[in-house]
Structure 1
């Protein structure tokens, strides 16, 4: 078998895998990409080798993360398009500055930056209130923020609504696994799902009286702290590292938490 045919077969298998993962028919994808179903069939079976532009077009229609778009290109015999730059590289100086500005500007409230596997990249000084009592082993790099949250030696014993919060976090992770088909994230989901939890885990998120978001209710020496969070990502990333970076900022959900975090209690 020639190298060109091998490459066509390889990228064809990946295209078919992702199309099925997105629950799309050949007709669905062909219509979105404005190509014929015959041509798409030839690409998937390896009878035709896609151009570089066709790979990127189909990856866009399949809503693939940048990392997976690079994998498609390599499978088709082309070089990767999207760089994966270390966060400490010189070209990422502005990015690091932006992340740290957001983190520090959020104080005295906690905020963290995480990578695609929820490993802690950086946090502000206020995350100490979240990490009180967490076993040191769970905080050793690369510290996984989901594991530290739900592990019985992590934050879990201090989370007053553990079942609700656990259901929320596992739901977010499950949706991420479904979108990325990332094997490491799938393994993390299995690991976290197996952790013990004495509280019932709701099948769906349902608001309590006065709730507009799923709160994190955290036991603290001065009383219960209540938070909600927002997630920030870069709007127009063209770098894999940047596309996979997220900042989660925790806000006080009531006046008592605000006063405590500001040192006014």
Structure 2
């Protein structure tokens, strides 16, 4: 792994803060749609300890409607430029399925292409190789509009691992260096509660696949399936922290979260406890 994708240490993954420049994201749709609001939020997340920012201009929530490449680029490019003008050291990921948007984002200063379709669009892998960027290959069953329509797997852990391995092989064959690839099992993307729990229970073996693992469960709907009182995404902090702590113990390289300050604190405290346990203090 390169230093950009390597966790801080054994128990402390990198923390990626979510910046949704959209009107309809499930967790905070519309709050940061304007460039200034999104930039201010991004800078706050950096101050709270985010190692990466994941900036997206198109919602991938269940049932989300697609937007054009031009509209998506118009949402995210001013935010990337504004953040880097203030914090030129910021590490920025672009959350997009569209190669043209990813290319524009990299030219604006982004360094990681986070793609829920695992660079499956025509020419995407070749473009990533040409750009020389880091890539996150995520598993998703179907498309955002239909992914939660009764998803079925033979064995979700095996099926997702096989898919990610195949996509990593295809992307490397297109010229992307192995050390620039991170994998995401796609919690909540075309999975039932049982599927999500099975993947989380198998996260430690996933971390042994030979690629760093990015884990994203923050505020997702499976938490409400376990705790019906958390119907609103803003009421899922506890469940989000539990999942992030699990990922840290399992060896994930990075956790993608909305609540950066709370996640950094929880992971740091857990790491201190686990390190004390290791040393017998």
Specify if TM > 0.5.
no
Name the structure where helix makes up a greater proportion of residues: 1
Between the two structures, name the one with larger relative contact order (CA 8 Å, sep ≥ 6).
Answer: 2
Larger Rg: 1
TM-score, scaled to structure 2:
0.27
